Amino acid sequence: MNNEKFSIKKRLKSFVYAFNGLLLLIKNEHNARIHLVTTVCAVIAGFWFNISSLEWIVIIFAIGFVISFEIVNSSIEQLADFVSPERREKIKSVKDLAAAAVLVAAITAACIGLVIFIPKIIAM
Q: How far apart are the C-alpha atoms of 103 and 112, rounded to whole Å? A: 14
Residue-level pLDDT at 1: 64
CATH topology of domain 10-122: Helix Hairpins (1.10.287)
Domain definitions of the chain by residue range: 10-122
Per-residue pLDDT of 69-82, as tens digits, reads 999 999 999 999 99
Judged by DSSP in three states, 99 sits in helix
Per-residue pLDDT of 30-52, as tens digits, reads 999 999 999 999 999 999 999 99
Region 86-110: what's the mean pLDDT? 97
Q: Determine the residue type at 10.
A: K
In 3D space, the residue among 26, 48, 39 whose CA is nearest the CA of residue 113 turns out to be 39
Residue-level pLDDT at 4: 81
